Structure 1
């Protein structure tokens, strides 16, 4: 399909209708999932405007002009935002990898990795907002916000897509100092960018969780005989007559990848979790809920 054809009124209308149909379903699934977690004491309710001053931080893309402390900024060449302890601790940034590999599912009876990641992302965002926190997406040049309108904006942005290629990696544009973050991905691409992002996040006092979303076929490698392996984008293709002979080496490399991710998370004060799309989402949401509590304390 040509580039111009992608932007015809008929194509844009069809895509908009598809997104409009999927958005309510995503929100309904996320709302149902989040209802399984009792809010309890999640989040610290703001007592008023008398929160303790924490620090000045450099202004970032998306900061409102009214947030800039002009008196502090006048003493230097840059602009600074006066940040309270509340504002840092109560921001949760979400990153969802939507590269081609995330669209894989080994069975029509279970969701794709992307759909499960989107559902978990919106469910934890709903819980955060209900707990009085602000949420945002790491790939947008917008600060985190609270409220239902923000949840709807996030859901729409997740459906729009932004990553190209077979495998994605976190590339946060907005990551407020002292906030928390969650990255959802299959993490099957080059792990180096992930380690670099975690290092930069640690330098900014940001902690959070990596959630690796995998299809059970990617764990079990249930292939035998003549098999053609092809990436979701079609850019990579490999054919073998003895697929079963590759199983041991594949599983060893997958285990090595998980261990590398877990070690990178430990070094930077983050948490690591693996979720399989053939399993209920509730246990992983409960784990994530608890993990965000622990990294904040």
Structure 2
């Protein structure tokens, strides 16, 4: 499989096209599962839209009307996946290796690709984007047109502010009243500072809504490969006084690794292991690793 390199990822803004391209590459050579029985029933015709598979065109109807129509079907799905995307300011952090690519754009590509895989499986999927400025929700749906709707919503997401706290989340719990699996995509920047994301995941777990976490980092956060004098800026706080890199490295790595162990332990206790991806890792590779870790998605 030919992997999409980070520079191509950063330069491509058409998420619908990019996610399909990545997903189709992942599916090459894989045996497609088949759903048998009475779960698939014809529902309606609709006009053909760019991006629809020609396999779904009703050619007999075309011969009679000289117009393209697509057959839509209701498919009994075993799964509804709600993807929760953290759109707080820390997600603007760019890669130091590929400055054109930041956490949020990587997350958008990853989410859009997961949605296309779910689309191919016939599953239902929804999107919830969160920060303290409010939230944006795309209700659950399935099929090609819903995938395009999700991709368009993702293209418009901008990172700002903080993860919402307390009463700011009261309006979103209605989206989890029906059974679903939740995929939480974030850098978990605030998790070591307060209980915001941890409390969110814990409440979902208590409601029997499994919360599968993907943490997105840049490699430099894991390795701290800096020299000289540094000015560190907290995107959700402020500047930290300048210090020498060597002076900070040991303390930083000790604190970072301790925070990672604590975060992983929180999710492990809920039997939802933490997956970690860096923006320098091809989306195909990190998505495959996520699916292996959470067989309920694949």
Same fold by TM-score greater than 0.5: yes
Moved more, 200-209 or 178-187: 200-209
Determine whether 1:98 maps to 2:100: no
For residues 91 and 13 of structure 2, the distance between their equivalents in structure 1, rounded to whole angstroms, comes to 18
Deviations 1:76-134 (A, max 9, x none): xxxxxxxxxx66x4101111222221111124456211111111111011000110101
Q: 1:197 aligns with which of 200, 206, 218?
A: 200
Shift of 1:214: 0.6
Distance of aligned partners of 1:115 and 1:142 in 2 relative to their CA distance in 1, 3 Å threshold: closer
Aligned partners of 1:198 and 1:264 also within 8 Å: no
Q: Which residue does 2:242 correspond to in 1?
A: 240
Distance 1:215 1:30 in 2: 21
In the alignment, is residue 185 of structure 1 matched against residue 186 of structure 2?
Answer: yes
Which string of whole-angstrom CA distances, capped at 9 and with x for unpartnered residues, describes residues 131-177 of structure 1? 01011012444531001221122122222226531567895542254
Cα gap change, 1:189/1:45 in structure 2, threshold over 3 Å: closer, same or farther? farther
Find the counterpart in structure 1 of residue 218 from structure 2.
215
| Cα-to-partner distance string for 1:251-297 (whole Å, 9 max, x where unaligned) | 1221122212211212223221110112222221112223443479x
Q: Which residue of 1 aligns with 2:101?
A: 111
Distance 1:241-1:276 versus aligned 2 partners, 3 A rule: same
**Offset at 1:205?**
1.7
CA-based RMSD of the aligned residues comes to: 3.0
Higher strand share: 2
Once residues 44 and 177 of structure 1 are traced to their aligned partners in structure 2, the CA distance between those partners, rounded to angstroms, is 23
Match of 1:159 in 2: 155
Structure 1 stretches lacking a partner, 5+ long = 1-20, 51-85
Contact 1:27 1:122 in 2 (8 A): yes
- Normalising by structure 1, we get a TM-score of 0.70
Q: What does the per-residue CA deviation read over 1:204-255, in whole Å, with 9 as the maximum and x for residues that have no partner?
A: 222242111111111111223321112346x410122323211111112211
Structure 1 residues 47, 284: CA separation in 2 closer, same or farther (over 3 Å shift)?
Answer: farther
Output the CA distance in 1 between the equivalents of 2:269 and 2:248: 32
- Counterpart check, 1:175 vs 2:176: yes
Counterpart Cα distance in 2 of 1:280 and 1:32: 13
Deviation at 1:199, TM superposition (A): 1.7
- Contact 1:226–1:240, Cα closer than 8 Å, also in 2: yes
Q: Once the 2 structures are TM-superposed, how far is the Cα of residue 22 of structure 1 from its aligned partner?
A: 6.5
Task: Return the TM-score normalized by structure 2.
Answer: 0.70
Contact 1:208 1:292 in 2 (8 A): no
Report how many aligned residue pairs link the two structures. Answer: 238
Corresponding position of 1:123: 113
Alignment of 1:1-297 (within 5 A): 23-24=13-14, 26-38=15-27, 40=31, 47-48=38-39, 89-105=78-94, 106-108=96-98, 111-139=101-129, 140-161=136-157, 164-165=160-161, 172-173=172-173, 174-191=175-192, 192-232=195-235, 235-294=237-296
Q: CA deviation at 1:201?
A: 1.2
Pair 251,197 (structure 1): closer, same or farther in 2 beyond 3 Å: same
